[in-house]
Structure 1
Amino acid sequence: MHKVSRRQKLMLTLPGLMLLAAFFIGSGVEAINGNLPVASAANAESSMEMHSKASECAGEQRKPSFGSAVVVSSGEVVCGDLISFGGEVVIRGEVNGDVVAFAGNVVVDGAVNGAVTLYGGNFTSQNGAHINGDVHVCGGRWTREADSQLYGSIIGCTRGVDLLLGNDGGVTFRFWSALTWVVLGILLTKL
């Protein structure tokens, strides 16, 4: 009889702990501390001027890159999405499409007319950079220099977990996340 009530207590506690973990993973710590991501906005006319100044596309659409650097040279215009797995993306020219990087850094010193999404990498917007879209940084940090322009929002989707675990982002995020779930699993099975 005692084991039945213990099991029921565990079954009632488990969803609560899962909701609490989901809250912290979904940037709950940032909401509590008041460190929500800052949205930098500009007027729509400036953004439209950037789109109207877009040059003609050069060459073919690039294929996804695996483990090597992707460089868009100054004066080069790429139409289409840039996708990189495990390599650095450096944009000195112009990209008319989205930029997606997995386990790699993105450095923008040119123009991006689309969203920038990073999973496990850092984002740097250098002086003179123009980004017409949102920047999503998951498991990394973003750095924006003073003379760069962002016509969208910067969204840090895992920064709450980084603050909770004292992590600086990057590849070690997966280790701390896995360790947290293993410890939670052991604690829940011992109840």
Structure 2
Amino acid sequence: MHRRSALLLVLLTAACAPQSPAPTLPGTTAAGAADPVVPVGQAMVAFFRSPQPNQPAVAARAIADLEWLADSLPRNPRWNQASSVGLNGLQQARWEARRALGIPERAAAQAVINGLSAAAQAIEANDQAALARALPRSVFPVGPREMVSRLSAPPQISGVVSAYESVANDRVQGMVH
């Protein structure tokens, strides 16, 4: 009985704890989409269906998109009732991507999103100083050179495409009924 009470207390405390604000994804507001989930999800899926080597900027954006989707969908009232299998699949894909890139699980989603988005811009501009600023060692401990190397041979993230499609399909079916 005491274990059950303690577990309930832990769950209630966690539920009442203040949540950090939902992350933002650079560039999504400029696109003018009222709900950027679909275009961001489609761009992410397009990359992960067939990740191409030697395109570190594209990989950085796709992984930033994954990070944003995994963190923001459960908080978004339009999407938080979508397939729990899909939402959990996006979380698993996020942790898989972080492990492959050497990003700590404890790193804040917004810091990861900002770093990868800024790194993509720096890579495209061939700006090494901006790249170093974009990838602070507190969030990206492998350092800029190794991060670009890992992004150049992007990780195969199992289940990310099916997870997003599950969420999107469940959302569309919910709108129809």
Normalised by the length of structure 1, the TM-score is: 0.23
The answer to which structure has the higher strand fraction is: 1
Normalised by the length of structure 2, the TM-score is: 0.25
The answer to which structure has the higher helix fraction is: 2
Higher relative contact order (CA 8 A, sep 6+): 2
Look at both structures and tell me which one has the larger radius of gyration over its CA atoms: 1
